[in-house]
Amino acid sequence: MSGVVDLAAVKAAGEARAKAEQARADASQQGGGGGVAPASLVIDVDEAGFESDVLQRSAEVPVVIDFWAEWCEPCKQLGPLLERLAVEYNGRFLLAKVDVDANQMLMQQFGIQGIPAVFAVVAGQALPLFQGAAPEAQIRQTLDQLIQVGEERFGLTGIVVDPDAAAVEPADQVPAEVPAGPYDALLESAAQALDANDFAGAIEAYKRVLSDDPVNTEAKLGLAQAELLGRVAELDPQQVRKNAAENPADPAAQMTAADLDLVGGHVEDAFGRLVEAVRRNFGDDRDAVRVRLLELFEVIGPDDPRVAAARTALARVLF
């Protein structure tokens, strides 16, 4: 994170910090109210809630993401430490825990190669923090630096914590029902098919949505994921790699290898392989590779910096 801090903004950051401290003091003197419960500083996040729980929240407080799994022994050391620090830092950052076994697309989108891995999202921007069970002193230093970046660059002063607030809503408060959208049933059916590895069923459901609503973002992403997973489901990875290495100019071999790269989390490798295949081929072969690359962009998402870099590389090759 070196070089991220704008030293000219130190004064403004100090003022922002003072305002945040005053807000916390006022909340304490008023007997709480309006703040979040300490238990709410640690949340479990999945792919469906990532936008609201992480991206949107990162506009008000730095969100630290702990990628973990039940079978990972170092995760069992790091997780409780991060949870304790989240409470101790009293709203200056939010801890989001992501189980990589249940959320592999998030793991791929962040390019996770091993766990535990810790990232941060600040004002919608992702920052890698560290990998592995780091010492507490190092983690504290990293968190302090992250909070400083959030204050100086984006004016994030954290969230107010009310120690007396309930961690959950009272049982007699029933949330208002959200009206179902016109495609909610189809999208839910497609998601269930995808979870059950029924890729053909998921593809059909997503295509039905897109036939009526061609710009439906959820359906476009789901279709790209379902088609990708369907293509790699029966592949022999070793044979695919061998074919790609022996036939560097074969567009089909390179597209298949790129699919495996992406599913394995090697996003830049997948994009680079297809950009090179576009460069090597012409006519219908080139167009087929270009279309496949655009499909993989849909899987990762247009806002990912790796997609932006690959689009630039593709433009150089095409034009």
Catalytically active residues are 72, 75
Question: How many whole angstroms from its chain centre is CA 223?
Answer: 18
Burial letters 42-71, b for 16+ CB under 10 A, else e: bbebebeebeebbbebbebbbbbbbbbeee
| Ranges of H-type helices in the chain | 10-29, 50, 73-88, 104-109, 136-154, 184-195, 199-212, 217-232, 237-246, 251-263, 267-280, 283-300, 305-318
The single-letter DSSP state of residue 235 is -
Under 8 Å between Cβ of 161 and 38: yes
Residue 260: phi and psi, rounded to 5, are: -65, -40
168 is written with which tokens? 């959950």
Alpha carbon distance 192, 227 (integer Å): 15
Q: Is the distance from CB of 259 to CB of 228 less than 8 angstroms? A: yes
Which one-letter amino acid corresponds to residue 298? E
Give one DSSP letter per residue of 158-217, joined into a string. ---B-TTS-SS--TT-PPPPPPPPTTHHHHHHHHHHHHTT-HHHHHHHHHHHHHH-TT-H
Cβ 75 vs Cβ 68: under 8 Å: yes
* Rounded CA separation 243/184 (Å): 41
115, amino acid identity: I
Q: Hey, CA dihedral for 287, 269, 241, 248, is it positive or negative?
A: positive
Q: Is 62 helix (H, G, I), strand (E, B) or coil?
A: coil
